Amino acid sequence: VSEAAVAPLLHEGVRIGEGRLRAAGIESSRLDAELLMASVLGVGRERMVLDRLEPVGLEAWERFQELVARRVAHEPVAYILGRREFRRITLAVDRRVLIPRPETELLVEVGLELPSGAAVVDVGTGSGAVALALKSEREDLVVSGTDVSADAVAVARFNAGALGLDVQFVVGDLLAGLKCDAVLANLPYVPDGESLPADVAEYEPRVALFAGADGLGVIRRLVRQLDGVSVVALEHGLSQGDAVSQLLAAGGFRFVERLRDLAGHERVAVGRR
Ligand SMILES: C[S@@+](CC[C@H](N)C(=O)[O-])C[C@H]1O[C@@H](n2cnc3c(N)ncnc32)[C@H](O)[C@@H]1O
């Protein structure tokens, strides 16, 4: 009898899935197997332990194996599940948008310090992550998001509706003509031609990743458009902290602060006039 023909107990099923993911070189094999199984069963991940001796129904077992096969092909878990947590909100995500990353929460933290009623634009909003997380925690701010990708703006608008948050999203280049007090931006910053893990390279939108020979092509253009903006926070790649700080200083931002992610890497430069 093949493994696939008979539905196993929950802990056996998760272990089989974990083994397939590990064999495919997926580092987070245990976590991913649990997340996929929990999603198939429509329960929280804690049930993987609490119900470990329960049988998995045949239909759920087949569905689980389909999801494992997608992950074996390196499709990111967030796309398979169709959602990603970001700070206190859950966003719908699919291949039209970059999957929000934990380090991007630093941009929201900068936004949280803005004075009451400030106008903020999340430039290159993707799923709407930064704009929507900020609005969910600071209702007084006037928050907008822009993206050059109409597909991304469609996802961001869907998320705003689902979360009941009053954020305007605009399709356009960089600030798209919007006036504001503060700009928060996680724009593309990977140098053209740089090789990325299969999960990223084969699934996430190229327009969300690559930005010219040194990766700073889009950020450089944005910094030139910040007249009248008092505060700007820019996410950047691991080795771009000096270059982005210099761009901000040259753009007239007298005070430049550099923020680190939880791993201790500089990931965001904040400029203040
Ligand atoms: C790295 S992704 C970040 C998405 C989102 N801010 C996040 O952190 O999850 C960069 C985003 O910038 C958008 N983008 C690229 N070039 C742009 C431009 N010139 N103007 C506006 N958005 C742009 C891409 O479409 C993509 O959604």
Produce one character per residue of 51-70: b if its CB has 16 or more CB atoms within 10 Å, e if not: eeeeebeeebbebbbebbee
Please, are residues 106 and 259 in contact by the beta-carbon 8 Å criterion? yes
Mean pLDDT, each 10-residue run in order, the chain (273 residues): 71 97 97 97 94 94 97 98 97 98 98 98 98 98 98 98 98 97 98 95 96 97 96 97 98 97 96 96
Residue 29 Cα to ligand 1 middle (Å): 29
pLDDT of residue 5: 62
Of the candidates 93, 74, 102, the residue with the CA atom closest to the CA atom of residue 267: 102
Write down the pTM of the prediction.
0.94
Distance CA 135, CA 139 (A): 5
Please, are residues 180 and 144 in contact by the beta-carbon 8 Å criterion? yes
Please, are residues 246 and 214 in contact by the beta-carbon 8 Å criterion? no
Produce one character per residue of 226-254: b if its CB has 16 or more CB atoms within 10 Å, e if not: beebbbbbbbbbeebbebbbebbeebebe
Q: Whose CA is nearest to atom 7 of ligand 1?
A: 100
Which residues lie below 8 Å from residue 91, measured CB to CB, with a gap of 6+?
Answer: 83, 84, 85, 100, 127, 128, 129, 132, 159
Residue 125 Cα to ligand 1 middle (Å): 6
Q: Is 112 exposed, middle or buried (0-12, 13-18, 19+ CB in 10 A)?
A: exposed
Torsion of CA 7, 78, 93, 57, to 10 degrees: 10
Residue 193 Cα to ligand 1 middle (Å): 18
Q: Whose CA is nearest to atom 17 of ligand 1?
A: 148
pLDDT of residue 1: 42
Q: What is the DSSP letter of 55?
A: B
pLDDT of residue 6: 79
Residue 146 Cα to ligand 1 middle (Å): 8
Residues with CB under 6 Å of ligand 1 are: 98, 100, 104, 123-127, 129-130, 146-149, 152, 173-174, 186-188, 207-208, 218
Residue 102 Cα to ligand 1 middle (Å): 16
Of the candidates 251, 191, 249, the residue with the CA atom closest to the CA atom of residue 215: 191
SS3 169: strand
